Each structure stands twice: as structure tokens, then as C-alpha cells.
Amino acid sequence: MLDGDEALAARIRAIQERIDAAASRSRRAPSSVRLVAVSKTMPAAVIAAAVRAGHALFGENRVQEAADKIAAVSALEPDRYLAWHLVGHLQSNKAKAAVGLFELIHSVDGLELAGRLDRSAAAAGKVQGILLQVNVASEATKSGVSPEALFPLTDAVLALPHLALRGLMTIPPHESDPEGSRRHFAELRRLGERVRASAGLGAETPPGEVPAASWELSMGMTEDFEIAIEEGATLVRVGRAIFGERG
């Protein structure tokens, strides 16, 4: 291993330990929180080093950049199974490419995009996992569906047979004190509970039947992932604390 590889591996271990501690503090199983290593802008060689350190779940925010790097990282580490998530905004005209690349798309925020993803998934013969991105504070400049529009969007998405709604995601307003994000994370969790109840998702599994996939809350980044875990996050999206500042 190169020195840089060692340092990266140590940073991933340190973040994982902080995740485990935050989960334990909240009386949650550490395995109920997954770390999405947000590798946007990082070159394939750096991502490959994270793979050699044992990490297998990465988040990207641009479809074309991800397509190039997924191919490059797979060529560098051909024997590892890797999962890629799209965490950034998705334009409808990139839906088809996205379906071919990502296990989970965190950023679905409207019916036009959902419809395109559904048709692309049908054509590809797959069911695409998605999260609905919620603009919890209804900020004018931010993508995501407003809390009020979330319920009708959920109903429409559930009618699309090639999409699997797996949960909600948010990027809360910027706060100078990370504690300020707590109420937004709590709000996403409350919305998630209401969505599940109104859509009949998350009911108890009858004996003998296969349980539905777990419900995800994607929230928390470098500055506030521990607070997000305390408020129920199951996917934390961490970039800079793993890879360093982006250039």
C-alpha cells in the first residue's frame, strides 16, 4: 500500500467508528447505517484505493462523470462488487443513462423524471430503486419536492411498476452550527413516517412472506452526519471527511 492509501483507509475507518458510536448512542444497530462515500471530483485511482481499503458503496453527483469513473474503477478493481448511488440532481434527459449505472437514485423530485426513469427501467428489464428528495425548508433555490407535494408525488410514483420507492433524502438548509440541521432531519423522518403510513408501506410482514426492503432516510454529510444518525439516517453521504477538500 502507498502512504496515501494508508491515510485514506484510516479516514474511512475513523468515519465508520463515528457512525457506529452515533448509532449506539441512539440505541440503533450500527449495521442500520450505511456510509455512502461521496467520490464526486475524485479520480478513479483514489476511489480504487478506497475499494482496496474495503469500501464498496460510492456516491456520485453527475451521470457522465460517474459513467467514466465506474468503468475506470471497475477496470482497476475487477474482482470487487461495488454499488454506486446517484446523490446529485438528475435531469430527465439523463434518466436512461442513470438507470444503467446506479443501484439507488437519491434525487427524484418530480413526476416527469420519475416517469422517464420508469420507462428506462422497463426497457432495461429492471426495477430501479429510488428515493424522493425533499426540500424540507421549501428553499426557493434548492431542488427537491416540497413537503406538501411529497404526498401526491408518492402516490404517483407507487403506480409506476418499474420503480421501487425505498425512502426519502434531503439536503437541509446550510447552518453555521450543525445542530441547526437537527430539526430538518427530524422533519424528514416524520415525513417518511407519514408517507409510509399513507401509502401502506412498511406494514408488518405476514409469516412466510419475504419482508419488503428496508425504508431509507438519506441525510447527513461531513459536517452533520452524526446528528443525522441520531435523528434516524440510514444512509449518510460523506465526501470531504473521507477524501479531503475538493479542488
Per CB under 6 A, residues contacting ligand PLP are 38, 40, 61, 87-88, 171, 221-222, 237-240
Residue nearer to ligand PLP on the CB measure, 128 or 133: 133
Whether residue 48 contacts residue 58, with contact meaning beta carbons closer than 8 Å, is answered with: no
Shortest spacing between CB 188 and ligand PLP, in angstroms:
14
Q: Which residues pair with 104 in a beta bridge?
A: 85, 129
How crowded is residue 161: how many other Cβ atoms within 10 Å of its Cβ? Answer: 10
Shortest spacing between CB 170 and ligand PLP, in angstroms:
10
Residue nearer to ligand PLP on the CB measure, 61 or 154: 61
The sign of the CA dihedral 48, 54, 56, 62 is: negative
Shortest spacing between CB 116 and ligand PLP, in angstroms:
20
How far is residue 33 from each of residues 26, 206, 219, measured CA to CA in Å?
12, 25, 11
Residue nearer to ligand PLP on the CB measure, 134 or 221: 221
Name the amino acid, one letter, at 187: E
| CB-based closest residue to ligand PLP | 239
The sign of the CA dihedral 220, 223, 227, 229 is: positive
Residue nearer to ligand PLP on the CB measure, 160 or 232: 232
Q: At what angle do helices 182-199 and 147-158 cross, to 10 degrees?
A: 40
Residue nearer to ligand PLP on the CB measure, 87 or 157: 87
Shortest spacing between CB 62 and ligand PLP, in angstroms:
10
Q: How far apart are CA 191 and CA 211, in angstroms?
A: 22
Shortest spacing between CB 186 and ligand PLP, in angstroms:
19
